[in-house]
Structure 1
Amino acid sequence: MTGLPWDASYQDGPAPWDVGRPQPAIVRLAAQGQFAGTVLDAGCGTGENALHVASLGFSVLGVDVAETALAMARAKAGDRGIEAEFAAADALHLERLGRRFETVLDCGLFHTFNRDERPGYVTSLASVTEDDGTLFVLCFSDDGPDTGPHPVTQEDLRTAFDPSTGWNVAAIEPDRVQTRFHDDNGAPAWLATINRI
């Protein structure tokens, strides 16, 4: 999968998911001390979530296929004096990074993959997550009115992140995800806490 279609989303003004600030759910997780060790933000976009976590003193790598978004993220890091790393990477082949992380964040990426692509993505995530590491997935949910595109069911998450794939779903909680197309309340979302086993 090339980054060109995703990159185009950033060419003519902000992308629909680029709200110019970290997602409230991610800010809350950070405030609760849920991040540990080195952190990977998979599908980081223009870097707001990664920069927020990095501003708290964590070593953070944000990856995306959209070079335009990565350039914007690097510029924000420089402007804000925040030390964070941003690199181009294919989410389906994260093993190519040659690194492992204690905390992995997926904010709005899982729901872009169809059912056929998900097993490869889950394997890719497993290849870079330390044993006993934690993955947080914030994705559009199928629960409630005004759902976002590509809504995901709880069963979708549990099926993808099954013990047979090296994961254990610790919790799936209703949350919200901010977009440029929803009001301030955002769209229905699931926040899943998933442990690498």
Structure 2
Amino acid sequence: MTRSAEFWNTVYDNDTAPWVIGQPQPAIVALERQGAIRGRVLDPGAGAGEHTILLTRLGYDVTGVDLSPSAVAYAHDNAVSQGVPQARFEVADALELGKRADFAGDPAGSAPAFDTVVDSALFHVFGTEPELRAAYVRSLAAVLKPGGTLHVLALSNAEPGIGPRIAAEVIRESFGAGWELESLQPARYRGRVGDATPEQIGGLEVSPEGLADFAAWITRIRRL
């Protein structure tokens, strides 16, 4: 179930987000090392900003956006503390990116700005709501150039775990006309265990820092 900006603000203000782990997701680090990220990059649902910070440090032209002003403030502070004050973050609704002329052109979709979109744990938030998933896909289509690549890292329902977990079929059915699904593979998503129950952890190894690697999907989708 999706939440308001006020809900997400509280999560960041109280530092209770299980996805704030003080480091980029290993699966996203691996994508960059494989050369899978190119051109101008959008990081929707940027949260604490770890991926925008990573890619900025490596020389990419990247913008992180989040619905939550508190998340954006958190990400700015995080970037400064990591010595990457030039990292760019903006408040924006991922469902309405097409309304940004600087992202999508005017009319929407006439001049998409981004070559790559890196979605780490945003898509699955809409997993149980087909209308919102469709709105998100339309929003991404407006800002991703033809031939551009969307990478999605989403929690999987293949194992017990935390957060909104989805089946691979949800990803496949969400990207139809105008998209080509090039790869969908099992992966792992690192999160803070926090108050998770033993059933949610499912016997996973928990690090001394309270982190565990949960089942996920890593997906590469081409914009046609």
Same fold (TM over 0.5): yes
CA shift for structure 1 position 185 = 4.2
Deviation at 1:173, TM superposition (A): 0.7
The whole-number CA distance in structure 1 between the counterparts of 2:37 and 2:16 is 28
Q: Distance in 2 between matches of 1:54 and 1:14?
A: 26
Cross-structure match for 1:112: 125
Pick from 160, 184, 194 the counterpart of residue 172 of structure 1. Answer: 184
Structure 1 residue 191 corresponds to structure 2 residue 191: no
Normalising by structure 2, report the TM-score: 0.82
What is the deviation of 1:78?
Answer: 2.4
The 3-state SS of whatever aligns with 1:179 is strand
Q: Is the 8 A contact 1:122 1:161 kept in 2?
A: yes
Rounded Cα–Cα distance in structure 2 between residues aligned with 1:20 and 1:123: 31
d(CA) in 2 for partners of 1:95 and 1:81?
A: 32
Give matches, 1:113-128, under 5 Å: 113=126, 114-128=129-143
Give SS of 2:157's match.
coil
Partner of residue 9, structure 1: 11
Q: Residue type of the partner of 1:156?
A: V
AA in 1 matched with 2:170: D
| Paired positions, count | 194
**CA distance in 1: counterparts of 2:81 and 2:18, whole angstroms:** 23
Change (3 A) 1:185 1:179: closer
CA distance in 2: counterparts of 1:4 and 1:94, whole angstroms: 19
Q: Which of the numbers 46, 49, 57 marks the counterpart of 2:48?
A: 46
Structure 1 contact 141–148 (Cα < 8 Å) conserved = no
Match runs of 1:33-182 below 5 Å: 33-82=35-84, 83-98=86-101, 99=103, 100-113=113-126, 114-144=129-159, 146-162=160-176, 164=177, 166-181=178-193
CA contact (8 A) 1:176 1:185 kept: no
Map Cα deviations across residues 84-140 of structure 1 (whole Å, 9 max, x no partner): 210000010011232210000110001111222100010001111011000000001
CA distance in 2, matches of 1:106, 1:97: 18
Residue segments in structure 1 that go unaligned for 5+ positions in a row: none
Identity %: 38
Q: Distance in 2 between matches of 1:136 and 1:120?
A: 17
Question: RMSD value over aligned CA atoms?
Answer: 1.4
The answer to whether the 8 Å contact 1:63/1:86 transfers is yes
Name the SS for the 1:10 alignment partner: helix
> How far did residue 14 of structure 1 move?
3.9
Is the radius of gyration larger for structure 1 or structure 2?
2
Q: Which runs of 4+ in 1 moved over 6 A?
A: none
TM-score norm. by structure 1 comes to 0.93
